[in-house]
């Protein structure tokens, strides 16, 4: 039996633009992705006999079968590499909120791929691992790579770039969840009034200019929220700004809202205050 435990970091979208609907039903995207320190912990054990087993201690609400992206990742690895690993047991300790726009499930899947790669096929190119991730979900290749990148296509075409300079990040997950396919459906037919300046963000990041980068945060999915959802996202964005954030946005297909702070102390203090009206509030830093 072999075992490896890895951190599975969440991601935020500094920008998210939807360029159009593709013939295959997916949407053409352009997104600035950033890994953050909020993470799940994933333990992968091989040689345990049987097939693939997933455990999510303390979280009976989460699926443990083929609907779980971590399960899918182990199956995709076995198929691509031709190695069933003598049975795989995966234990996911969740901290990242689910249905939140933070790629929690994709992060777990990517951790499974990275662990199986290290344990069973270290000679396989890292890029091949990202391709295996593509079959599991659109955000998985980025989660395999981590750090900061521009993601295009379905989300699988990655260009590593300079990420956020050191800063504090406060993440607030409203009480409701949003379904990614549903949000994508809602965007069909919307012509977005405000689009991200992705090139401007790239320049700000390359210059290590946090204030300028914070001014470029933008997510077109915010235009597809219902009035109630939009009101809660707007409330949290306003609250973050009033507590000293340099900029705010919703991440991914939401509903998590984040704010960037110049100093960790201010961010930690803001998180403490926001927890009162939004219990799933977290402090994080960029990775």
Residues marked active site are found at 11, 139
At its nearest, how many Å lie between ligand C5P and the CB of residue 284? 22
| Lateral strand order in the sheet of 257-261 | 247-250, 257-261, 168-172, 281-284
Q: Which stretch binds ligand C5P (CB under 6 A): 3-11, 50-58, 176-184, 277-285?
A: 176-184
Per CB under 6 A, does 142 bind ligand C5P?
Answer: no
Q: Give the nearer residue to ligand C5P in terms of CB position, either 29 or 245.
A: 29
With beta carbons less than 8 A apart as the criterion, state whether 17 and 198 touch.
Answer: yes
| Sole binder of ligand C5P in the list 71, 142, 184, 221 (CB under 6 A) | 184
The CA–CA distances, whole Å, from 30 to 154, 160, 174, 218 equal 9, 13, 25, 12
| Sole binder of ligand C5P in the list 29, 52, 170, 239 (CB under 6 A) | 29
Q: Give the nearer residue to ligand C5P in terms of CB position, either 109 or 274.
A: 109
Per CB under 6 A, does 180 bind ligand C5P?
Answer: yes
At its nearest, how many Å lie between ligand C5P and the CB of residue 178? 11
CA angle 252, 183, 73 (to 5 degrees): 60
With beta carbons less than 8 A apart as the criterion, state whether 114 and 129 touch.
Answer: yes
Residue 130: other Cβ atoms inside 10 A = 19
Q: Which stretch binds ligand C5P (CB under 6 A): 21-29, 92-100, 110-118, 268-276?
A: 21-29
Per CB under 6 A, does 259 bind ligand C5P?
Answer: no
65: Cβ–Cβ under 8 A, 6 or more apart, which residues? 54, 71
At its nearest, how many Å lie between ligand C5P and the CB of residue 28? 7
Per CB under 6 A, does 155 bind ligand C5P?
Answer: yes
Q: CA-to-CA distance for 142 and 159, rounded, in angstroms?
A: 10
Q: Which of 56, 50, 129, 136 is nearest to 90 (CA)?
A: 56
Per CB under 6 A, does 181 bind ligand C5P?
Answer: yes
Q: CA-to-CA distance for 73 and 161, rounded, in angstroms?
A: 26
Q: Give the nearer residue to ligand C5P in terms of CB position, either 85 or 129.
A: 129
Question: What's phi and psi for 7, nearest 5 deg?
Answer: -80, 145
With beta carbons less than 8 A apart as the criterion, state whether 134 and 140 touch.
Answer: yes
Per CB under 6 A, does 138 bind ligand C5P?
Answer: yes
Residues binding ligand C5P: what is the number (CB under 6 A)? 11
Q: Give the nearer residue to ligand C5P in terms of CB position, either 108 or 139.
A: 139
Q: Which spans of this chain sit near ligand C5P (rule: CB under 6 A)? A: 26-27, 29, 137-139, 154-155, 180-181, 184
């Amino acid at each position: 039996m072999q075992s490896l435990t890895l951190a599975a970091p969440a991601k935020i979208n500094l920008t998210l633009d939807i360029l159009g609907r593709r013939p295959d039903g997916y949407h053409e995207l352009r997104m600035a992705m950033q890994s953050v320190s909020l993470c799940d912990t994933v333990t992968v054990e091989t040689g345990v006999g049987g097939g693939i087993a997933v455990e999510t201690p303390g979280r009976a609400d989460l699926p443990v079968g083929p609907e779980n992206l971590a399960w899918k990742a182990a199956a995709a690895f076995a198929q691509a590499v031709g190695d069933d690993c003598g049975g795989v047991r995966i234990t996911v300790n969740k901290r990242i909120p689910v249905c939140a726009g933070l790629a929690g499930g994709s992060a777990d899947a990517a951790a499974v791929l990275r662990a199986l790669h290290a344990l069973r096929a270290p000679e396989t190119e890292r890029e091949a691992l990202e391709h295996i991730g593509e079959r599991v979900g659109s955000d998985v290749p980025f989660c395999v790579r981590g750090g900061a990148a521009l993601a295009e296509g379905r989300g699988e075409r990655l260009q590593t770039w300079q990420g956020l300079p050191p800063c504090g990040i406060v993440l607030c997950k409203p009480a409701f969840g949003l379904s990614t396919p549903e949000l994508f459906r809602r965007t069909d037919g919307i012509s977005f009034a405000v689009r991200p300046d992705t090139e401007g963000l790239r320049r700000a990041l390359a210059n290590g200019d946090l204030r300028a980068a914070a001014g470029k945060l933008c997510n077109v999915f915010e235009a597809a929220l219902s009035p109630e959802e939009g009101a809660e996202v707007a409330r949290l964005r306003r609250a973050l700004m009033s507590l000293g954030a340099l900029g705010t946005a919703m991440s991914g297909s939401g509903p998590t809202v984040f704010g960037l702070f110049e100093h960790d102390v201010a961010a930690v203090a803001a998180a403490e205050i926001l927890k009162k009206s939004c219990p799933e509030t977290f402090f994080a830093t960029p990775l």
